[in-house]
A and B are shown apart, each in its own frame.
Chain A
Amino acid sequence: MGPEPIDDVERELRQGMLRLPAPPGLKRKIMARKRALDAERTHRRVVFWQRLAASIVLCGAVGGGVTWHNIQERRKGEAASQQVMVALRIAGRALDQMNAQLAEHNVDK
């Protein structure tokens, strides 16, 4: 069988460049890699949500702690100011009494 004429190059390319069959197992390998990537993606998503949830809980705990501490401080402050007010009222009353006694003493003289 002799070689074809050179002019047939384009014709040969048109007729001869068919798609080759894919290697056996290519689809199986692709699907296996896809499953592995999907699992990794799911794992990454779960870890992300877990971290997000943990961060929210931590922020909530810290925020709650700070708020609770502030409330306690405010309560202590209020109690202290009430005590001061009571003390001032008592002192005021004592001063009033002393004032009254001094006034009486001055009248007697």
Chain B
Amino acid sequence: MSHDWQPDFEKLVDEHQSMIFSLAFRMTGDRGLAEEIAQDVFLELDRNLGRIESPEHALNWLRRVVMNRSADALRRQRVRGMDLWVEMDENHGATFEERPSPLRSRLEALMATLPSPQRAALVLRYQEGLTPDEIAATLDSPLATVKSNLQRGLKLLRAKAESHLKEFIRGT
């Protein structure tokens, strides 16, 4: 282990801000809230910087904390009865240089409609490329639950995509 590694807060922000923001945004669907979560996550990292032992530790720590914070935010919003998924379609693609395919952009929006445990598993699987074991460690969930969430999430996404595309074909 690289115990002599000295964490550089500014460098960690540079390296991981995009990942943290993306995870928070894909979990909450709200740019403002995602930005706020990203700020809070990095400030929490600053408070815990002394305990971070390596770059990998920092990466895993950040992923775990942002997923927890996003889940908390979703829970809070649900309690207040608010629907966060309002701007994914309108703003999400705004900063992309390349226009995504219709299915891809549809999938991003459909992801938003999945239950949050399934969304979390899928986001970590496909955005971060984590294995089910790594997802289980990040979300602090049993492996079987993660695998089940991935399978159910994909199944639900396929079904939703199919029905949306049928409507799209009918509409054209």
Question: What A residues does B20 contact at CB under 8 A?
Answer: 22
CB of B14 closer than 8 Å to a CB of A: yes
Chain B stretch 19-72: residues in CB contact (< 8 A) with chain A: 19-22, 25-26, 31, 35, 38-39, 42-43, 46
Interface string of A4-30 (1 = CB under 8 A from B): 101011101111111111110011011
Q: Is the CB of B165 within 8 A of A6?
A: yes
Chain A stretch 2-59: residues in CB contact (< 8 A) with chain B: 3-4, 6, 8-10, 12-23, 26-27, 29-31, 33-34, 37
Q: Is the CB of B9 within 8 A of A27?
A: no
Q: Distance in Å from the Cβ of B153 to the closest Cβ of chain A?
A: 10
User: Max chain A CB contacts within 10 Å: which of B26, B104, B162?
Assistant: B104
Chain B stretch 131-172: residues in CB contact (< 8 A) with chain A: 154, 157-158, 161-162, 165, 168-169
Interface string of A84-95 (1 = CB under 8 A from B): 000000000000
> How many A residues have CB within 8 A of the partner chain?
27
Question: What B residues does A10 contact at CB under 8 A?
Answer: 154
Out of A1, A13, A16, A37, name the residue touching B43 (CB < 8 Å). A37
> How many B residues have CB within 8 A of the partner chain?
41
Q: Is the CB of A31 within 8 A of B103?
A: no
Out of B39, B95, B162, name the residue touching A20 (CB < 8 Å). B95
Q: Is the CB of B161 within 8 A of A17?
A: no
Q: Is the CB of B162 within 8 A of A6?
A: yes
Interface string of B85-104 (1 = CB under 8 A from A): 00000001001000011111
Question: What A residues does B126 contact at CB under 8 A?
Answer: 13-14, 17
Q: Is the CB of B123 within 8 A of A3?
A: no
Q: What are the 10 A-B residue pairs with the smallest beta carbon separation, nearest first?
A: A16-B104, A22-B17, A13-B126, A17-B126, A4-B103, A20-B22, A17-B127, A19-B22, A22-B21, A19-B18
